[in-house]
Structure 1
Amino acid sequence: MQQDWSPLVHIEWPNGWSAKRATALLNGDRGVTDSACEDEVEHVIARLFPRANRVVLEELNRVARSPDTARRPAVRHDALVFLAREDDKTAVIVKLLTRLKAEREQSNYDNYINGQVDGNRFAVMDARQNLWTVGGHVFKLIGFTGNDILTFDDLYTEPLGEPTAQAFKDEVLIDILHDFFGTIWKRNQGRSRPFSGSLFQLYDQNWNGKLTQRLGEFKNRPATFSASKPISPTLPDPLRWLSGHNDLSSFDNVFEAIVHGDLHGENLLLDNKHFAWVIDYEDTGYGHVLRDYAELVQNIATRLRPDMDDDLTWL
């Protein structure tokens, strides 16, 4: 592991990581990598663990920890998520992100999550710190047993040779989804209300108007998209199609409820008994009642299926 030192705590980054790399990724294409920003990343971590002598950061999922696998990581814009071990304590989840995103997620947690998630297992935002450009928080997994945190992605892509073992794993995966939708998120799903509008409007609102801003750009894309594998040789380009058909996403008798907003397999964490915890509330809020289900299916179809065409993973 590469070691970086802070005046307050000794931080050990995973192989290939450093405060400099974290700073560059948090700032996206803005290229801000000066030493002051690097210090800010380390000071956020130090403030999240004020009593620690050492904080060891690890990749969240097993695939990232193993160089022999090629699964695509989930997309997190201007945000990084790690396992963190403070001295000899149980692992927690640390999320580093830009200050504005940190404030948004912390507000969503206070408004939609804290005291409003059912069951005996939930992720508590145990600490939060925001500096000038970087923020961060710690999720503590209440009710977690064991030492190894597994992601839904890890379990889904775990190779199994026996057909009976695969059938058992399929049952486990379904049980995990029943657990999330039927227990953990049940109260938030029950806070539904009628919605008059379109899916386009819901996503545009959630993404702060970015869809509307980019419609002109979408109109200039080619009309079709060709895949390298013969799943379907030529498909309508979805962004080009959206630019002229977003009104078709309006439906009658639609309900919205409080949704997680970014339910992919790296935000569903499992213990060794396959009980589930959910993290990452940056996009939590009111949305179409089926949004979480639809986005998890999309995550499986475009990232986890071994036969998926690489050219289609951005869809």
Structure 2
Amino acid sequence: MLIVDDKPDMRDVLERLLRAGGFRHVKTSASCTEAMALLEHEHFHVAVVDARLDTGSFDNRDGLQLMHKIRKIDPSIAVILLAAPGDTQAIQEAMRFKSGKLSPFKLHPAPAADVLEKTPTNLKRLGESVLQVFTEVVDINWDLNIKDPGKALLGLIERLRFSDGSTPDVMQLQQEVRELLGKLFPGCTRLDVYKISEQNSGYSKAIVFLVKPWTADGEGVVCVVKIGEVEIIEREIGCYTQFIKQRCNRSPVQIEPTHRTRRLGGMIYTFIGLAGRIHDFGDYYREARDLRLIKRALRNLFSDTLKLQHGSTGQIRQGQDLRRLYVELLRLDGHELQMRQAQLLTDTRSFWREANRRKIWLEDGTPLLNPVEYALKAAFKGDYYESIIHGDLHTHNILIDRHNETWLIDFANARRGPKLHDYITLEAALVVETIAEDDSAVLLGWARALFASADFRSPALPQDLAAHAGIAKAHAVVSSIRTLALSDGREHSYDSEKFYVVGMFFTMLFLMSAKFLNDGKRFHALVAAALLAERLEAAL
């Protein structure tokens, strides 16, 4: 609880009233400046604010301004405004409901959750008003018991990073996550928390996990929960509503309820039919010994789960600037790519010569085309089939149930775009992220087999590489993805192989600069991009 009033005696009265009502954690401040300082370092659920923070001036509106600042800093804080008797302007402004675009989160639509005129009678009901606001606006299930014996939630929380690159305080995030779960599951007595993937690692702007809810009536259905940076969750809600809802088989029928705290947003993916043990595709791929099961899952993904989304919304785009397309699609920045490449070449003792920036040399002296320079200077014109795409189809965004059917999550990048991009991102994730091999010579040989082979659609795997089980498995799965993807060109009459190579080239550059990958995997992506650049240049 935060009390903001310029009169010391009034602050004392308000604090006593709240403590008498059972609210023990109460802080007070005398001005907008003091309140903002407290808000910067402490967490509040309700703020009681005097509309005039200078009683010597009837026209003073510092409290009203503070009310709006609080809403901007943390919309989840419920504000109760104290107005002087007859101050209708303050009352009207406090209760003016927002118009236009509304937040997708469950928030009070007016700047203040309640307004009390500062009369003795009304002040006596302050505790009652605060309790009502806690129940109806803050709306946290304080009695929820969260069971997490494997500390899955803590491990996931420790991976969270924000867009500005900051590392949030883990204890503060734990508190916000607990409050979010209390908002998302208001009628539950207990939650059992589980990881979806045992192998998922690296930093992320959002976390996804399984929850089994319990109520007084017993065990509920396991559901998928996502919590992350507010802007990421808000963007996903918008993209899902605009592009995905009712357009994709085995996607969530809704992603509600949605709630937020100061820095985090949360939502529940609601599926119909998803049950039993749930893997993500990454775990499923690692555990599967029978390649036929993986290939069957891929056919299910592209021929069934994504069929409605890909097939009913498309059109051919001819003569397009594919570099511009991928710069926008992957949010690529030329200067950042140059810096990331320079750092990787230095760390791996590879280099380029200033007199000839078109080439880079690996540590063993192998020359390759400089992929970043090629991306910045070459012409990339081509056709593609545009449809609604998932936009970020990697191994952790695909769930697989006990019937080996595929389900999708994470729609923050859904949009209209090249249909083949969904195939490309999945192949790139398999090639770069899932391979445990760290022998650079072996990886270079495999990259040549994948990206420099004369037969791009069905590249052969050299016998010496076939002895590496992980590479042989990935190679077979990549070939299956390409077979499914490149049939698209025959269906829609455009050069799908050319687009696939261009799209893979830019996607590998994106992975080369990705902060969530280690240097070895990013260097593997850099080499792949260089080989794809050579393939594109040779085709001119």
Q: TM-score, normalised by structure 1?
A: 0.77
Work out whether 1:258 is the aligned partner of 2:388: yes
Gaps of 5+ in 1: 65-70, 161-168
Secondary structure in structure 2 of the residue aligned to 1:153: helix
CA deviation profile, 1:18-71 (whole Å, cap 9, x unmatched): 56972772437413317555432221121111111111221112xx1xxxxxx5
Larger RCO (alpha carbons 8 Å, 6+ apart):
1
Match of 2:425 in 1: 295
Match of 1:79 in 2: 206
Shift in CA distance, 297/23, structure 1 to aligned 2, threshold 3 Å: closer
1:172 counterpart letter in structure 2: L
Preserved contact between residue 394 and residue 425 of structure 2 (Cα < 8 Å) = yes
Match of 1:49 in 2: 185
CA distance in 1, matches of 2:409, 2:374: 35
Gaps of 5+ in 2: 1-139, 350-362, 440-517, 526-540
Secondary structure in structure 2 of the residue aligned to 1:126: coil
Q: Aligned ranges for residues 169-180 of structure 1 at < 5 Å?
A: 169-180=290-301
Deviation of 1:279 (Å): 0.9
CA deviation profile, 1:207-245 (whole Å, cap 9, x unmatched): 4x4524624534644658859xxxx9677799x622442
Deviation of 1:103 (Å): 0.5
Shift in CA distance, 51/313, structure 1 to aligned 2, threshold 3 Å: same
Work out whether 1:151 is the aligned partner of 2:288: no
CA distance in 1, matches of 2:412, 2:366: 32
Secondary structure in structure 1 of the residue aligned to 2:382: coil
Deviation of 1:196 (Å): 5.1
Match of 1:32 in 2: 168
Q: Aligned ranges for residues 222-233 of structure 1 at < 5 Å?
A: 226=348
Which protein shows a greater Rg?
A: 2
The percentage of counterpart residues that share the same residue type is: 22
CA distance in 2, matches of 1:94, 1:189: 26
1:313 counterpart letter in structure 2: K
Secondary structure in structure 2 of the residue aligned to 1:141: coil
Preserved contact between residue 14 and residue 59 of structure 1 (Cα < 8 Å) = no
1:251 counterpart letter in structure 2: K
CA distance in 2, matches of 1:259, 1:210: 19
Deviation of 1:107 (Å): 0.5
State which of 119, 122, 126 in structure 1 corresponds to 2:256. 126
Shift in CA distance, 268/179, structure 1 to aligned 2, threshold 3 Å: same
Shift in CA distance, 19/302, structure 1 to aligned 2, threshold 3 Å: closer
CA deviation profile, 1:236-292 (whole Å, cap 9, x unmatched): 799x62244245472322233221112122221111120111111111112322111
CA deviation profile, 1:185-216 (whole Å, cap 9, x unmatched): 12221322316544443343234x45246245
Match of 2:147 in 1: 12
CA distance in 1, matches of 2:379, 2:190: 51
State which of 183, 190, 202 in structure 1 corresponds to 2:325. 202
Preserved contact between residue 97 and residue 136 of structure 1 (Cα < 8 Å) = yes
Shift in CA distance, 173/41, structure 1 to aligned 2, threshold 3 Å: same
Preserved contact between residue 256 and residue 270 of structure 2 (Cα < 8 Å) = yes
Deviation of 1:302 (Å): 2.0
Secondary structure in structure 1 of the residue aligned to 2:257: strand
Preserved contact between residue 92 and residue 138 of structure 1 (Cα < 8 Å) = yes
Identify the structure with the greater helix proportion: 2
Work out whether 1:111 is the aligned partner of 2:111: no
CA distance in 1, matches of 2:388, 2:345: 35
CA distance in 2, matches of 1:89, 1:24: 28
Work out whether 1:271 is the aligned partner of 2:401: yes
Secondary structure in structure 2 of the residue aligned to 1:181: helix
Secondary structure in structure 1 of the residue aligned to 2:256: strand
Match of 1:245 in 2: 375
Match of 1:90 in 2: 221
Deviation of 1:12 (Å): 2.7
Shift in CA distance, 291/134, structure 1 to aligned 2, threshold 3 Å: same
State which of 307, 310, 325 in structure 2 corresponds to 1:186. 307
CA distance in 2, matches of 1:236, 1:49: 57
Preserved contact between residue 261 and residue 285 of structure 1 (Cα < 8 Å) = yes
Deviation of 1:110 (Å): 0.3
Secondary structure in structure 2 of the residue aligned to 1:57: strand
Preserved contact between residue 148 and residue 193 of structure 2 (Cα < 8 Å) = yes
CA distance in 2, matches of 1:38, 1:256: 41
- Please, what is the CA RMSD of the aligned residues? 3.5
Preserved contact between residue 222 and residue 237 of structure 1 (Cα < 8 Å) = no
Secondary structure in structure 2 of the residue aligned to 1:30: coil
